[in-house]
Structure 1
Amino acid sequence: MFENAHDLYKSKEWKNLLQTLKLERVNESGKLLCEYCGEEIVKAYDCIGHHKIPLNNSNVNDYNISLNPDNIMLIHFKCHNAVHHRFGYELPKKVYIVYGSPCAGKSTWVESMGTADDLIIDIDKIWECISFCDKYNKPRKLQQNIFETRNCLIDQVKMRLGNWQNAFIVGTYPLKMERQRLADKLGAELIYIDCDKEICLSRAKDENWKKYINEWFESFQE
């Protein structure tokens, strides 16, 4: 029994069903195509299971709706928002924790997915917003203020304060327990931006950032 839709999305039943559908719905060329726009879904984190009959707390335990393959479309993350806006569905507030190595492309992905109705809590952008430093310059004397600003915004997300539609929390979060604890606290979905270490290093602006990248890959827990 699921208490709400969020419980379903965290469940093994849902994750196993999505994995099965991804395998079953590849075309003859081995590509998985978005069932909304028809373009290829390249990255695993960009594939969303969309319920044709909208899921809510009243029907979440009706498996003919919640876990019925015929009621589920595999579509791009951005297409998911488009589907709901097009058909006027009222989406509940959703929270995503987007994590990965420095220079993996987390902020770039979020900016390509978000809309004007979404809230973005990006530690690098906070550095730029409330200091004279760019995101590659992080003096220790400012760290407490930066982190307290981020924590204040995260508390607002926890209380669902405001009229935002989606909240994206962007950070490195290499430790499994740390990011899972935050996800449980916020009722959030974890999205891992997977990027090869060599690519991240090639994007680094200076030696300090190369050091951060190497340290992240040493401490990262799947």
Structure 2
Amino acid sequence: MSRDTAAIILSAGLGKRMKSDLPKVLHKLNGKYIVDYVIDNVKKAGISNIVLVIGHKYELMQKALADRGVKFAIQRPQLGTGHAVQVALPVLGDFNGDLLVLCGDMPLVSTKTITELLKMHRKLKAEAVVLTVRLNEPKNYGRIVRDEDGFLKAIVEYRDADRKTRLINEVNTGAYCFSSRGLRSVLKELKTDNAQAEYYLTDTIALFKKRGLKVAALVSDDPNEGLGINSKEELTRIESIIKELKG
């Protein structure tokens, strides 16, 4: 799998709610860096071609993760998730296989789910497959919008969603599998006309649909896979979940 698959892990953020100057993904989770869980799960899926997008205190990130066998792409300034992927792609050179994109602060996306995401992408010959979860309290996650036939139509970020869209309980986890060639093409069309004035990776779904290309969503049966770490409280919660998983 490693020859025709690569992974980009988005890890550039400061994480202001952590109330620390340390890059968010370098906080320890049961003795390991948060991002180490993501790197490990990707590697266990047979993927060794990994690019970490870093920004805040990038030199510290490079030093801390020097022995992980990953490449680095520096995102400065940080102009959104779409921009982060644009920064990472040149590091992959002429790679044109299947491309995973994951968040460095979401350690519960399992190797099993990563493998299922890749399998679905290949089976459907889709341009993009997004991993979703259904939550009783979806909070500020991006909402998954489906058409009248139940097919994926778009991902709408919470800040840009109207009241009706915010009632949707299926949300984006920030984990995707793309055709790298197709992704390179639509990234050029991203705009910043949104609430955060950023280039959203989520907008690629609607752009693929506009071209009549196939996109799909894989719904995880484990809502915990949608949990990210943005605060010390969330870190403590995920520590408990990981301890339970280990038994």
TM over 0.5: no
The structure richer in helix per residue is 1
Larger radius of gyration: 1
Query: So what's the TM-score if we normalise by structure 2?
Result: 0.26
Query: So what's the TM-score if we normalise by structure 1?
Result: 0.28
The structure richer in strand per residue is 2
